[in-house]
Structure 1
Amino acid sequence: MIPRTSVLTSAVCLLLAGTASAGPYDALVFHHAPVHYQDTDSSDYPSDYITAFDYDSDRISTNNWDNRAGGLWPATVYYSVVESCSHYFVTYSFFHPRDWSDTIFDQEHENDLEGALLVVRKDGTSFGKLEGMITVFHTNFFSFTPAGSPLTDGNETIDGTVSFEAHNGVNRPKTVQEAKGHGLKAWPYASDFNGSVNQDGIIYYPTQGAAEYPTSGNDRFVPYRLVDIHAANGMWAAALNDATLPSSSAQTFNTWGTFKGDTSGGCGSGLKSCSSNSANTPWGWDDGDDGASYRGEFALDPAHLVDHYFNGTGTFSQQYVSNPYLQGLRAAGYNSAHLPSGFPSQLNLDAMYSKLTATCPAQ
């Protein structure tokens, strides 16, 4: 076993370099960052470790399955913040190089990104008040509320209650991912891993210091770093860059919101199968049977998604003071007449741009 104090490899040092940056939402993001329970499977612990999409020091997504060997990668959680006049919509995204299986006739695929959207009311305090959560469990969304939340069932039924865990003086929401397929829900709904000593699993905690990595598939304290999905040369920048290229020339994304992924490196070995181009980003996440919410709204128009999922929202604005997804698309020259290849046809980009505002009405 390699101790945590060991010197990291040069590749990992490269990943850690230059990731710290001060931003207007840093304190908010850290305050609400979840304690994350990751179930693991003993047949391949490292494939259940969370890390960066460019953990192998490149953003070529078709070699992520192949380069998974080793496992000494900094624990990483991506975040983004969209701010409306009434709420912060904070997304936390968890990447794995493999969505894998140890069951015959099952399907695997390269790359995996699932996450949670936290609905935080701006109540005049420094960090606001958490009112709800929507999570990604493969191709379905699930909704949760903390005790005392005003939110009630909307077009979808609330699936459970948000639990909290005290950590360094902060009561943090708890999330959990299943092993292998990595579907994510509020703890404990996605997995039976609850941290007991007789269970396989990892518990990740946010840090403002250096990220660490699991010492095994049974590690109860691993600090994870928070990385802005809109950071320079990060995941969103890669998406905008690849959107200008034919798929054959793009490195990370096959089409809008979908990672490239192939069958190399043993994906689908034995009696399993391997699907290509199967992992999605927040601007590609979708629940196909939840009615009038559409692919990509999780990132691009979270207020509309939340308004669809919940009633009892009270004073609720769908005007955005800051929406780096929409602002990035507009700066790149996209509009309803000029869309990235694969952009959802149900989304009216110009109408979403009209939700951007420089000022909010007095509350």
Structure 2
Amino acid sequence: MRKTAIAGIVAGILVSCAPAWALTPAELAFHHAPVHYQDSDSSDYPSDYITAFDYDHDPITTNNWDNRGNGQWPATVYYSVVESCSHHFITYAFYHPRDWSDTIFDQEHENDLEGAIVAVRKDGSPHGRLEGMITVFHTDFYSFTPPGSPYTKGHETIDGKVSFEMDNGISRMKTVQEAKGHGLKAWPYTSDFNGSPNQDGIVYYPTLGAPTSPASGNDRRVYYRLVDIHAPGGMFDLAINDALQPPAQALTYASWGSFRGDTSGDCGSGLKSCSTNSANAPWGWDDGNDGASYRGEFALDPAHLFAHYFGNTAPFSTVYPNHPYLTKLRDAGFYSGHAPAGFPSQLDLNTLYGKLTNRCE
């Protein structure tokens, strides 16, 4: 009886000490969501508006260039949250139907998704502490730190500082994308748009209410919705579904991590060219010359990605109590000897599954 009573007291203490501040992935993603500066080009404003990959109400990605229309779609930013024992890794992904150009002999392609990932330390505060950011700029990654971050350069140099802007009582990091090709960095390290009145561009703010769409290519307050990459039937579920289908039946992805895209419509018109299947999802993002960091780690092993890019990260965990990408791959029956077609050869699924944990010491 005495042992039972003591056990009950201990259990009560453990329950009472449970972190009441623990938030859902959606709450974490909203709190850390950026104010997003999008450069736009007057020769085709709507092609620089961010939206959903299924903005035309179907998951078929080979008609997204063709269906662009006048661009009156709800502003959308995708997110995912992967949790290690020390950090939350939050990805934000920005979709455009067209990666386009108004320059002769240049190349265009259907679909475009580029983004950023941030490392947020679980420091006991409700939302954690932002320590670092890595962004996708076409086929290169760039790294940034906020003021006060302990991170130093690792295998890659640090490319700049993260800036912040107050929005409804929240200090939000700022990101920026160039027009046309939509490479992304921390604000103001790319594009010709920093928010000045004499510049073409759109400023997007996160909202828990209804999203809006730009009134023009010069709109300084547009509200974007956050959509979970792991929403039922969403971006990653479709990737799993297409990986289980014969290639001819795939609707969204040409192979693992690469969207289907063709040359229909006026893609590559004039003296330009149009490439196919050229846009990538986070599990296909890659910097080809950053050493021992591999395609897809943005989604599949973000702790390794940050440990590679930055120094002085300790204490830093590389195991994951919550990892929706790996969990869904495992639940779909994929393993090292049976990986999706096009899965990165440098990543071993069984080794990645070994990083999943039910408890943090």
TM-score (norm 2): 0.93
- Find the counterpart in structure 2 of residue 41 from structure 1: 41
Counterpart of 1:313, as a letter, is T
Match runs of 1:160-199 below 5 Å: 160-199=160-199
Q: Say if 2:126 is the partner of 1:126.
A: yes
- Find the counterpart in structure 2 of residue 152 from structure 1: 152
**CA distance in structure 2 between the partners assigned to 1:241 and 1:348 by the alignment:** 20
**CA distance in structure 2 between the partners assigned to 1:43 and 1:177 by the alignment:** 17
Q: Determine what percentage of the aligned residue pairs are the same residue.
A: 72
Name the SS for the 2:91 alignment partner: strand
**CA distance in structure 1 between the partners assigned to 2:158 and 2:198 by the alignment:** 31
Structure 2 alignment gaps of length 5 or more: 1-22
Counterpart of 1:157, as a letter, is T
- Find the counterpart in structure 2 of residue 265 from structure 1: 265
Name the SS for the 1:36 alignment partner: strand
- Find the counterpart in structure 2 of residue 8 from structure 1: none
- Find the counterpart in structure 1 of residue 82 from structure 2: 82
Name the SS for the 2:336 alignment partner: coil
Counterpart of 2:213, as a letter, is Y
**CA distance in structure 2 between the partners assigned to 1:246 and 1:212 by the alignment:** 38
Name the SS for the 1:266 alignment partner: coil
**CA distance in structure 2 between the partners assigned to 1:138 and 1:236 by the alignment:** 21
- Find the counterpart in structure 2 of residue 345 from structure 1: 345
Name the SS for the 1:142 alignment partner: strand
Q: Say if 2:268 is the partner of 1:296.
A: no
Name the SS for the 2:283 alignment partner: coil
Shift in Å, 1:246: 2.5
- Find the counterpart in structure 1 of residue 5 from structure 2: none
**CA distance in structure 2 between the partners assigned to 1:121 and 1:291 by the alignment:** 25
**CA distance in structure 2 between the partners assigned to 1:290 and 1:205 by the alignment:** 32
- Find the counterpart in structure 2 of residue 256 from structure 1: 256
- Find the counterpart in structure 2 of residue 14 from structure 1: none
- Find the counterpart in structure 2 of residue 17 from structure 1: none
Name the SS for the 1:242 alignment partner: helix
- Find the counterpart in structure 2 of residue 108 from structure 1: 108
Match runs of 1:18-33 below 5 Å: 24-33=24-33
Name the SS for the 1:68 alignment partner: coil
**CA distance in structure 2 between the partners assigned to 1:339 and 1:30 by the alignment:** 33
**CA distance in structure 1 between the partners assigned to 2:84 and 2:281 by the alignment:** 22
**CA distance in structure 2 between the partners assigned to 1:324 and 1:88 by the alignment:** 13
Name the SS for the 1:171 alignment partner: strand
Q: Which moved more, 1:247-256 or 1:166-175?
A: 247-256
Shift in Å, 1:244: 1.2
**CA distance in structure 2 between the partners assigned to 1:190 and 1:87 by the alignment:** 28
Shift in Å, 1:70: 1.9
**CA distance in structure 2 between the partners assigned to 1:271 and 1:302 by the alignment:** 40
Spell out, residue by residue over 1:256-307, the C-alpha distance to the aligned partner (whole angstroms, 9 max, x if none).
0000000001000000000000000000000000000100000000000000
> Contact (CA 8 Å) 2:26, 2:228: kept in 1 or not?
no
Spell out, residue by residue over 1:199-231, the C-alpha distance to the aligned partner (whole angstroms, 9 max, x if none).
000000000000000000000000000000000
Name the SS for the 1:108 alignment partner: strand
Spell out, residue by residue over 1:73-101, the C-alpha distance to the aligned partner (whole angstroms, 9 max, x if none).
00000000000000000000000000000
Indicate the RMSD between aligned Cα atoms, in angstroms.
Answer: 0.7
| Matched residue count | 339
- Find the counterpart in structure 2 of residue 56 from structure 1: 56
Q: Say if 2:275 is the partner of 1:275.
A: yes
Mark the structure with the bigger radius of gyration. 2
**CA distance in structure 1 between the partners assigned to 2:247 and 2:102 by the alignment:** 31
Shift in Å, 1:24: 1.8
Shift in Å, 1:174: 0.2
**CA distance in structure 2 between the partners assigned to 1:150 and 1:314 by the alignment:** 9
- Find the counterpart in structure 1 of residue 70 from structure 2: 70
Structure 1 alignment gaps of length 5 or more: 1-22
**CA distance in structure 2 between the partners assigned to 1:246 and 1:181 by the alignment:** 31
Spell out, residue by residue over 1:57-83, the C-alpha distance to the aligned partner (whole angstroms, 9 max, x if none).
001000000000121100000000000
> Contact (CA 8 Å) 2:39, 2:191: kept in 1 or not?
yes
- Find the counterpart in structure 2 of residue 336 from structure 1: 336
Q: Say if 2:308 is the partner of 1:308.
A: yes
**CA distance in structure 2 between the partners assigned to 1:128 and 1:24 by the alignment:** 13
**CA distance in structure 1 between the partners assigned to 2:121 and 2:165 by the alignment:** 20
**CA distance in structure 2 between the partners assigned to 1:247 and 1:47 by the alignment:** 29
**CA distance in structure 2 between the partners assigned to 1:72 and 1:315 by the alignment:** 46
Spell out, residue by residue over 1:323-355, the C-alpha distance to the aligned partner (whole angstroms, 9 max, x if none).
000000000000001100000110011011011
Shift in Å, 1:190: 1.6
> Contact (CA 8 Å) 2:25, 2:80: kept in 1 or not?
no
**CA distance in structure 2 between the partners assigned to 1:338 and 1:166 by the alignment:** 47
Task: Report runs of 4+ in structure 1 exceeding 6 Å deviation.
Answer: none
Name the SS for the 1:321 alignment partner: coil
- Find the counterpart in structure 1 of residue 228 from structure 2: 228
Name the SS for the 2:67 alignment partner: helix
